[in-house]
Amino acid sequence: MQSVNEIMSFLETGNWSSFEDLISKCSLPECNVELVLNFLIQYDFLEVDEKKQIFRLHPDMIDLINRLDENKS
């Protein structure tokens, strides 16, 4: 679960990122990052630009995360 949390924290900005960006920012093994990204892509949590090979958290997911954070307060 820590792997997912670390990756989600990085993606919450909503900025486009490459796999290499994520690997360099996270303290996780490459294989863990790849597994989490594949899961997020499979369930449409990420938008993917296959041509540029970049991705970002889907805006609806960012909205959901923000709503959940507001409810915690």
CATH assignment of the domain containing 42:
1.10.10.10
Kindly indicate the confidence band of residue 4, based on its pLDDT and cuts at 50, 70 and 90: confident
Comparison of pLDDT for 1 and 6, the residue scoring more: 6
pTM of the model: 0.81
Q: Which two tokens stand for residue 12?
A: 């919450």
**Buried b or exposed e, range 10-39, using 16+ CB within 10 angstroms:** bbeeeeebeeeebeeebebeeeebeebbee
Q: How many domains does the chain have?
A: 1
Provide the domain limits for residue 63. Answer: 2-72
Report the SS3 class of residue 55.
strand
- How many residues are listed for the chain in this entry? 73
pLDDT at res. 6: 86
Over residues 62-68, the mean pLDDT reads 89
pLDDT tens sequence across 23-49: 998 888 999 899 999 999 999 999 999
- Asked if 15 and 56 count as a contact pair (C-beta separation under 8 A), the reply is yes
